[in-house]
Every structure is written in C-alpha cells, then in structure tokens.
Amino acid sequence: MTWEELENECKNCKKCELSATRTNCVFGCGNRNADLMFVGEAPGENEDMTGVPFVGRAGKLFDQYLAAVGIERGDVYIANMLKCRPPKNRDPKPEEQDLCIGYLREQVRLIRPKLIVCLGRISAMRLIDPDFRITKQHGQWVKRGQFEMCAVYHPSLLLRDPRRKPEMLTDMKSVKAKLDGLKGEAAE
Ligand code: URA
C-alpha cells in the first residue's frame, strides 16, 4: 500500500463509532523516512480540530522535551494508536484499538523506523507488553524484531503530575542518545 492509499483509507474509515464524531482523522505527521517514531494514544480536542497529532497542551509540553534534548519535530514521525478522538478523551476501548491498529502497522511498515517510542501506558501496553508498568519500565529499551522500543511518560500525565518531569527528561535524553548512536552505526 502507498502512503496516499493508506491516508485515503484512514480518512474515509468508518470501522468504529469514533468516525461518527470526528472532525478530522489524525493520521500522523513528520518525516516518512524517520529513524525515530513516536506513538501516542489518541487525538484530543485540538488534534481533532486540526488533524495534526500533539498540538494541544500536552503536545506543546512534548515539543519542549524534543527541543530540550535537541530533536527536531520535523525529523521524526508522530502518530497515535487511534486516529480518531474518543469522546471526552476517554481511554481508547480495546475493540477500537483492534480496528485501528492496522493503520499504525502499515505506517510502521512504510517508514521502517529503527526506534519506536511509546508515549504513555496505552501504546506501551499494546506495542511492547500487555503488562507494561509505565512507572517502573519507562525509559527501558527492548528489542522487538528489527525495532528498538521504549516507552516514556505521556505528556498529559506530566501536566497532571509535574513531579515526574525529571524522569521524562532523563528518558528523552536516552532517546536522543540512541538516535545519535544510529548515526555512529551508519558511519562504521
Ligand atoms: N494525546 C495523544 O496521545 N495524542 C495526541 O495526538 C494528543 C494528545
């Protein structure tokens, strides 16, 4: 499938009830040749309105972490587990995730990133381990097939619990170090 076909299919998707209440499908954004991909949970209100992931309050905080560790937002790819906003930002239902995950898989197949970083518990439980404990396992890298994966706190959690911000900075520095390490590997 090409990017165009995938994006078209996603934007016209009616597989679950979230399609009835969306303003925009939030497909994903960034560099389609990225080494690093971030996967969040689901669009919120601002994302639903603009069609772009991580542009609301949580997104602005996430941008600050990218800037703090020297990662350009335009160099990475950012997507969500769900492409449509759940009403009142409730947690995505398992059946919604089941119906939507094919789009994410196809995005990963097209991008072929080397690093996948889950933003928060929901995507970590789906993509790394169903028993993932974000408070214990954040920042720990695991190898899954050809990908290196880890999860960091979701920026919305940091807005609710700012005491966790130092851990997030440490984890994001480790993401940047992994990314820089890839450049070394390519030069070898
Ligand atoms: N939270 C997410 O998980 N994704 C977004 O795009 C915005 C907020």
What's the pLDDT tens digit per position in 118-145?
Answer: 999 999 999 999 999 999 999 999 999 9
Ligand 1 within 6 A of CB of 47: yes
Ligand 1 within 6 A of CB of 40: yes
Best residue for ligand 1 mutational test, from 24, 26, 41 (most atoms within 8 Å of Cβ): 41
The verdict on residue 188 lying in a domain is: no
Q: Does pLDDT of 186 surpass 80?
A: no
Q: What is the CA radius of gyration of the chain?
A: 16
Model-level pTM? 0.97
Average pLDDT of the chain, as a whole number? 97
Q: Are 49 and 24 in contact (CB under 8 A)?
A: yes
The verdict on residue 24 lying in a domain is: yes
At 26, which CATH number?
3.40.470.10
What is the tens place of the pLDDT at every residue in 58-106? 999 999 999 999 999 999 999 999 999 999 989 999 999 999 999 999 9
Q: Does pLDDT of 184 surpass 90?
A: no
The domain total for the chain is 1
- Residues forming a β-bridge with 150: 117
Domain that holds residue 81: 3-181
The verdict on residue 186 lying in a domain is: no
The verdict on residue 69 lying in a domain is: yes
The verdict on residue 187 lying in a domain is: no
The verdict on residue 28 lying in a domain is: yes
Q: How far apart are CA 163 and CA 177, in angstroms?
A: 23
